[in-house]
Amino acid sequence: MNDLKITPQFETALRQSYGVPPIRTEFVDRLYGDLLQRAQAKPHRPRPALRLRPAGAIALAILAFFLVITLVIGPQRVYAAMLQFFGYIPGVGIVDQSSPIRMLAEPVSVTRDGITVSVNQAVLTGVDTRIDFGISGVPLSAYPKGEAVTGCMDYHYLRLPDGSKAAVTAPIPTNIDEATLVIPCIFNTLPGAVPTDWELPLRFIAAPPELTVLPVIDVTPYVTLAPTVSPPGVGMATPIAPTQAPPQASVTVEKVIETADGYILLGFVRPHIPEGSWLQVTGAAVIRDADGNKVSYAFPSDVQPLDDPNMNQGGSSWVMQIKGTGVKFPLTIGFSGVVISQVDPQASARITVDVGANPVAGQVWEVNQDFQLAGYPVRLLSITADSRNGYSFRVDPGVDLSGMSVQIEGYQAVGGGGGGWQGVFSTSLAYSELPTGRLKLLFTNPLSASPTEEWQVMWQPGAAREFTPAAADADLCWDANTIATVPTLPAGLDGSVVITQMNPQLQIVLAGMDGSQQRIIAPGSARAALSWDASRLAYVTTEGIAFVDLFSGASSLITGAFGHDPHWSPDGRSIAVVNYGDLYGIFVVGSDSNAPQQLSNLGYESIAGWSPDGSTLFYAIPGSGGDGFLLRAVNVAGGDTRDLFVLENSSRKAPLPAVSPDGRWIAYRASDNASLYIKGMDGSSARLVLDSPATAINGIAWEKESHLLGVSLITPEHPDGEIFLIAPDSCETYRLPGLSGELDGVIIP
């Protein structure tokens, strides 16, 4: 194994196995242009002659002075003083503070044709400029549909008062306190699709004295597997000593930021593996305190992971933020993963599958064909056509392999991804045009994975601190540690849930809350909508929107109506869906096949629910302010839209918003995708109900009286989602036994 070399084929296999998309030529060209622009903008200084000039003598004298001071007052105090050059500004990140810091005087926002561009923040230092701006309201129709077409690639810049241009990251001279952010076009939009030539005037002022700038503290990482202690006063990082064979990776804590309520930790998972292998971190990190309690953590969006250009063969850098309240130090930070190795770079296998002349999205071909790859038995289980002009392949690699590359001969994929779970390897390929007919599948680059290994490090702060619980956390129901104590639902309680199961196959299921009487409603479908009276389900199929009466079992279908994220109106006469096909936006479709009514035109809205009287539909879109999704209300009869408020600290990916049937509350997923907030529909402050109790939340649903809230949590034990019922007012909570999946609906008789 030590003689194995990393080959281009091996890297390709890894990219395809773990979802790394191919690098597009347009991106490379744009990156090159950006780097060239920055290089030209950077002032060039003549190289000094190689001799000691007076300035050099002064520098040498200063160096000697610091050497004497270091010997007199001690290296740790000098070290601490040097660290003050870098600081952390909450909401901004790590900045150089060796020179005065300036900031944006006030946010600037411009709206044109329903599209808003906002400059929310700017921080100027002596070495760079950081401008935080956001764009919202751009419809999906403004972007190219195929990878072969590229939209506008013109780069935004700053125009200075004298008319000169500067890169948006270039340092601005201190005598300039105004500039204009010029955005020639919204990136990758098609010509004529949206307004162009955006200009936002910016004004800069000195940072106020009360600006919070926290020190960034270096923690000396260990370089061997033996325990080491960092310098006094900056914390301690100690690796967990191996008990058997040396581990294949080590965990380090290398920088620490002390926040008002806890810490931000930055570090690495570094590989120690044979050449030609690849370290893959799997699963989520686990932090436990000295008492063994699990500690919740978040990923701060304003702090980027550390970069180590010398680290290769996998591994990763990480950033985690924790609260110090109730935590007993030291902490144990643990990661797990496997080592991927190439089995035979020359091995290949071919099979042919006929998908017909007109495959449609969602169509599944159960292949179940065996073949040999590098001498190992492999089975192609199934092929599924997806909505991205591509196919997904489910492969049983057997006990010896963990993954491989899949290609369709004669076609060039423009994207792809995949990974393994419970012994099944899945990979997907996307194309500019969907391949049809007899597909010749080529399997290459077989990979093997080592048994999962765990790696840990211990860390504790250099000095004890007292933490007071934040007022926002006073009404918290559960966190990562206490969620384990939630009791199982008592026997005898009547009720049902609607869930989307993903294993052993994708299907919508109606089940009793005790896990009994599980009834498959729709094999091969997902994400059902439960009517307000809990009598009917609606879900989207490849043929249209399907309806099922839960009492009689009768079903019906509106052909040609498509979308996702279905939501019933209170009277049960209509369904709202988000369409992203030829027509983008929210459409309301009558359950009696009435013509659809279009209420928005974006294509990426998240429907939150209806008002109790059915006159208003609520939905969320990414806001331009950078502080969360924006909740909107649209009048169904007239189409008038109004912005309500921001779902503060909401998920940047998908907040899964859910308005309670009584119209008083909205529940949504937090920025870490694992915490849950409830906010009043009157715009009052959000309340944290669940603080990172699991890896992620994948389902949120209210029962019809709005007293109970159902949540499905992804955990290592339940990767599809474990179901919980919460009474938000009292925090009374129960876990539902024998059920796993994405929660779609809760039925209380």
Q: Is the N-terminal amide bond of 377 cis, ω within 30° of 0?
A: no
> Is residue 542's pLDDT more than 80?
yes
pLDDT of 108 > 70? The answer is yes
Per-residue pLDDT tens over the stretch 468-500: 766 556 689 998 889 989 999 988 778 999 999
Nearest CA among 581, 564, 573, 569 for reference residue 528: 564
- Residue 415: its pLDDT value, please? 83
Task: Tell me the per-residue pLDDT of 657-698, one tens digit each, with 9 for 90 and over.
Answer: 999 999 999 999 999 999 999 999 999 999 999 998 998 999
Cβ–Cβ under 8 Å, residues 327 and 306: no
Residue range(s) of every CATH 2.120.10.30 domain in the chain: 478-747
Mean pLDDT, the chain, rounded, equals 84
Tokens 């965990």 -> residue: 251
pLDDT tens-place string over residues 360-373: 887 899 999 999 99
CA 53 to chain CA centroid, nearest Å: 53
Q: pLDDT tens for residues 600-621?
A: 999 999 999 999 999 999 999 9
Distance in angstroms (rounded) separating the CA atoms of residues 547 and 499:
16
Indicate the pairing of strand 415-421 with strand 424-430. antiparallel
Hey, what long-range contacts does 21-30 have (CB within 8 A, 24 or more apart)? 21/415, 21/416, 21/417, 22/413, 22/414, 22/415, 22/416, 24/147, 26/150, 26/153, 29/153, 30/153, 30/155
* Residue 581: C-alpha distances to residues 98, 381, 588 (Å): 52, 29, 15
- What was the pLDDT predicted at 41? 39
> Residue 699's pLDDT is what?
97
CATH architecture of 478-747: 6 Propeller (2.120)
Question: Which of 136, 90, 134 lies closest to 108 in space, CA to CA?
Answer: 134
Q: Per the structure block, which two tokens stand in for 406?
A: 């899949």
Rounded-to-integer distance, Cα 644 and Cα 566, Å:
22
Minimum mean pLDDT among 242-251, 283-292, 328-337, 372-381: which range? 242-251
What pLDDT was estimated at residue 502?
A: 84
DSSP 580-635: ESSSEEEEEEETT-PPPEE----S--EEEEE-TTSSEEEEEEE-SSSSEEEEEEEE
User: 238: which 2 tokens?
Assistant: 């100690």
Q: Report the share of the chain in percent with pLDDT over 70.
A: 83
Residue 663 to residue 612: CA distance in whole angstroms? 6
Highest mean pLDDT among 143-147, 150-154, 437-441, 595-599: 437-441
The pTM of this model reads 0.74
pLDDT score at 58: 37
Sign, CA dihedral 355-359-365-370, equals: positive
Does residue 73 surpass a pLDDT of 70? no
| Eight-state DSSP code of residue 224 | S
**Confidence at 187, pLDDT banded by 50, 70, 90:** very high
Within the chain, which residue ranges are assigned CATH 2.60.40?
A: 216-337+456-466
pLDDT, residue 12, reads 41
Q: Mind listing the pLDDT tens digit for each residue in 422-468? A: 568 889 899 988 999 999 999 999 999 898 899 999 999 988 888 87
Beta bridge partners of 545: 540, 558
Domain 216-337+456-466 classification at class level:
mainly beta
| C-alpha distances in Å from residue 451, one per residue of 177, 273, 402, 424, 459 | 58, 14, 11, 16, 27
Encode pLDDT of 26-45 as tens digits. Answer: 333 343 334 333 333 333 33
Q: How far is CA 522 from the centre of its chain?
A: 29
Instruction: Report pLDDT for 275.
Output: 87
Structure confidence by residue, pLDDT tens digits, 709-721: 999 999 888 889 9
Higher pLDDT, 587 or 247: 587
Q: What is the pLDDT, as a whole number, of residue 27? A: 37
Give the C-alpha distances (Å, rounded to integers) separating 461 from 233, 235, 396, 577.
Answer: 8, 4, 47, 50
